[in-house]
Structure 1
Amino acid sequence: MAEHGAHITTSATDDRPTIFEVVAQESLMAAVRPALHHVIKVFAESNPARYGPLWRWFDELYSFLDLLLQQHYLSWASASFSENFYGLKRVVMCSSSGARTLPRREYWKSLLLLVLVPYLRVKLDKLVNRLREEADYSIQNPLSFRKRCYKAILASYPYIRLSWEGCFLFYQLRYILWNTQHHSPLLRLAGVQLAGLTIEDLQAMESRPEKTKSVLSVGSIVKRALGGVSVTLSSSLSLGVFFLQFLEWWYSTENQDTIKSLSSLPAPSPPIHFELETYSPLLPKLKTVCPLCRKVRVNDTALGTSGYVFCYRCAYYYVKNHQRCPVSGYPTELQHLIRLYTPDG
């Protein structure tokens, strides 16, 4: 029985990576975004005025840094960061040339698919989550055309997500059982396949930075600066692999009891007032007045992130547009709205 499954861990050719290598390199980049997202969230909660924009524009900033990182590794090693970390490279399908760099067409296709597809997927997931929250908290007419479109998107999205994941699973099963050269449809769209690094590839990568240009232009200076940023990011990510594994263990289900025991601390002091130009930063003296509209509250609603109470309509539209608490500036989403019901209401 063992010899029939030997092809799963060994390759038909020497440079063909195993399924464990390709899955491991994909899981590496999948773990980087949540870890950085959590770090930015901690900074935003500690100082909303300074780090709040980083929280609101995290997806765009992360995609930009990812673009620099992937561009550097595709130019230097013909591979993404995670592929190079596991000793893999990208080669053109059915190519007889011995070139060690990707052609221009495959290079740009690989770069766009590595950066643009994850960004669009995250944005689509957030859009669907926002529509679900609006379906639960919205005060719009349920029979309106916009509401029906939202329901159609929410109803079709699980099938779209199932088809997407099923396509990747189908390619992985083909890669394991039928000895194809692509474990992902994105590689086929890019026109490349993965292969293992050779000694000649490592020597070429080591000698490549030694080549310098005698004439410096503005474009070359900018390119070198971006390359330096990319190298710094790649070095930091390489050193942060252990930190990511530690975070994964820290938030595992087996470690929840330890987290609860460490987090059972006294209640913190009230959040600071956040200076905004839209209203006076001072809270109203009467506890029944909404800090946003300055009128007696209607349908009292508290924000779970700060504890301040507003009118439901005021809190709903402000959080929907700004993704933060109007008073403290803490990162807030629609799911943090908590309706308060008085005994006489």
Structure 2
Amino acid sequence: MAVLQTGAFRGAGVISQQEHTLPSIFDIWAQQSLADSVKPAFKHVIKFIGLWYPKETKSVNKWFDELYLGFSLFLDTYYFKNYGGSFSENFYGMKRINPKTSQTPIGKDRLKSLFFISVWPYLRGKLDELQAKLSEVAEARRTSIAKFFLKYYPYFKTLLGAAAILFQIAYIFNYSAIPTPFLWLSNSKLIKLTPEDLLKFESIPLHLQDAGLLTKLWRFLVSIPSVFGRLFTYGLFFVQFLEFFYASDAAKELTTSHQRSQPPVHPLMKLSEPEVLTMEIDKCPLCFRRRINDTVLSVSGYVFCYTCIDSYVRREGLCPITYLPATPDQLIRLYKNNNSNNSD
């Protein structure tokens, strides 16, 4: 009872009867972010190198997904064998154990873990690419299998996303010791590494050693993809929010309420319609000089120099004479026929 009372609650972390400390939900999110951002980071590096060596990196770009799959399997197999978890899990001081035996995964359990860590993201990416390609094909040319896939694959992705959210909510409120459905399918759970675990390692990874300059530098370099990945995710979310907002009725009402109460006045002088009508027929109402490249604004019918009216409409969005809303698409160039046919 004393052990249970003194067990600190860290997010979703509690000390169980086997004295295993579960990582907090923030550790889980950080680990997932690192795992998801390593591949894009490598891809950007390859693209950057390709600016100078396009021929040499062409094959790498073509087979990048397969090459990264092989690298991921090699790296995570090594970390599972030596440290009991994947690279990203070990980086944040975690390992996997069997919930019943409390032993690190071996045999089928390890293979299942490697499948969901390395192989499944590869397959998910290929399925997403297939969905995008099939969506571009005309419906009449799609096979029955393609139609079935396009109809039910989005539901499958939604189901996985909902399951992930439910598992994390249950983990946060301490109803479950497993934060993701893939861990449950792998018959594994994550726990924090203990000092005893570190002593059992043949060689302690640099990021788990005592703090030092080299250790801090290594942690910083490895965490860069995770940080930029999260920032990129937040940026995409913000862009999607803006797109949703500007497409909504609230944005239209807000835009209408902030429209100019008075139309802009031309910087030289304000001309009324009667004044424009009494001008010489070849003068531009904006520059007051002989028109060059006659252009009519279709919303009002007045003729201007192309340069004058184009810049004005782009800047103000209005006809300078009638104040009707206007866009550059409503400009119509007029062409004069200077050839005269003289008859005797």
Partner of 1:43: 49
Deviations 1:240-288 (A, max 9, x none): 323553576589759xxxxxxxxxxxxxxxxxxxxxxxxxxxxxxxxxx
CA–CA distance in structure 2, aligned partners of residues 54 and 113 of structure 1: 24
Q: Secondary structure at the match of 2:140?
A: coil
Instruction: Deviation per CA, 1:280-315: give whole Å up to 9, x if none.
Output: xxxxxxxxxxxxxxxxxxxxxxxxxxxxxxxxxxxx
Asked if the contact 1:44/1:51 (under 8 Å) is kept, the reply is: yes
Contact 1:9 1:20 in 2 (8 A): no
Letter in 2 for 1:82: S
- Tell me if the contact between 2:98 and 2:187 (Cα under 8 Å) persists in the aligned partners: yes
1:63, 1:207 → 2: CA distance?
26
Shift of 1:176: 1.7
- Percent identity for Structure 1 against Structure 2: 34
> Which residue pairs with 2:89 in the alignment?
83
Q: 2:197 pairs with 194, 201, 204, which one?
A: 201
> Which sections of structure 2, spanning at least 5 residues, go unmatched?
1-8, 206-216, 237-344
- The residue type equivalent to 1:203 in the other structure is L
How far apart, in 2, do the equivalents of 1:53 and 1:183 lie?
38
CA contact (8 A) 1:35 1:244 kept: no
Counterpart of 1:121 (choices 116, 119, 124) is 124
Contact 1:17 1:195 in 2 (8 A): yes
Q: Which residue of 1 aligns with 2:227?
A: 245
By how many angstroms is 1:180 displaced?
1.2
Q: Which amino acid aligns with 1:202?
A: L
- CA shift in 2, pair 1:238/1:106, >3 Å: farther
**Do the aligned partners of 2:30 and 2:226 also contact (CA within 8 Å) in 1?**
no
Q: Which residue of 1 aligns with 2:59?
A: 53
> Is the Cα contact below 8 Å between 1:175 and 1:182 reproduced in 2?
yes
Bigger relative contact order (CA 8 A; separation at least 6):
1
Q: Is the 8 A contact 1:90 1:193 kept in 2?
A: yes
Q: TM-score, normalised by structure 2?
A: 0.55
State the shift of 1:183 in Å.
0.8
CA distance in 1, matches of 2:220, 2:79: 13
Aligned pair partner of 1:143 in 133, 140, 144: 140
1:160-216 deviation per Cα after TM superposition (whole angstroms, max 9, x unaligned): 21111111111111112243121111111211111111101001114599xxxxxxx
Q: Does 1:163 align with 2:166?
A: no
1:28 equivalent to 2:34? Answer: yes
Find the aligned partners of 2:117 and 2:142 in 1 and give their Cα distance: 36
Measured at CA, do residues 248 and 144 of structure 1 come closer, stay the same or move farther in structure 2, by a change above 3 Å?
A: closer
Shift of residue 45 of structure 1? 4.8
Residue matched to 2:101: 95
* Cα distance in 2 between the residues matched to 1:45 and 1:134: 32
CA 1:185–1:199 in 2, change beyond 3 Å: closer, same or farther? same
1:177 to 2:169 alignment: no
1:69 aligns with 2:75: yes
Q: State the distance in 1 between where 2:82 and 2:203 align.
A: 11
Say if 1:112 and 1:150 are closer, same or farther in 2 by CA, change over 3 A: closer
* Equivalent position amino acid for 1:118 in 2: P
Structure showing greater radius of gyration is 2
Q: Is residue 111 of structure 1 aligned with residue 109 of structure 2? A: no
Distance 1:163 1:247 in 2: 24
* Distance of aligned partners of 1:54 and 1:249 in 2 relative to their CA distance in 1, 3 Å threshold: same
Query: In structure 2, how many angstroms separate the alpha carbons of the residues matched to 1:118 and 1:52?
Result: 23
Q: Identify if the C-alpha distance between structure 1 residues 144 and 246 changes in structure 2 by more than 3 Å, giving closer, same or farther.
A: closer
- Could you tell me whether the CA contact under 8 Å between 1:10 and 1:18 is conserved in 2? yes
Q: Distance in 2 between matches of 1:126 and 1:174?
A: 32
C-alpha contact 1:44 1:54 (8 A) present in aligned 2 = no
Query: Which aligned runs of 4 or more in structure 1 are off by greater than 6 angstroms?
Result: 235-238
1:32/1:244 contact within 8 Å kept: yes
| Per-residue CA distance 1:72-106 (angstroms, 9 max, x = gap) | 1000100111111111111111116xx5x433232
Contact persistence 2:34–2:225 (CA under 8 A): no
How far is the alpha carbon of 1:65 from its aligned partner? 0.4
Q: Quick one: distance in 2 between partners of 1:244 and 1:8?
A: 21
Cα RMSD after superposing both structures: 3.2
AA aligned to 1:143 is: A
Unaligned runs of 5+ in 1: 1-5, 136-141, 210-234, 255-345
Partner of 1:333: none
Count residues in correspondence. 216
**Cα distance, 1:207–1:152 mapped onto 2, change above 3 Å:** closer
Distance 1:70 1:238 in 2: 20
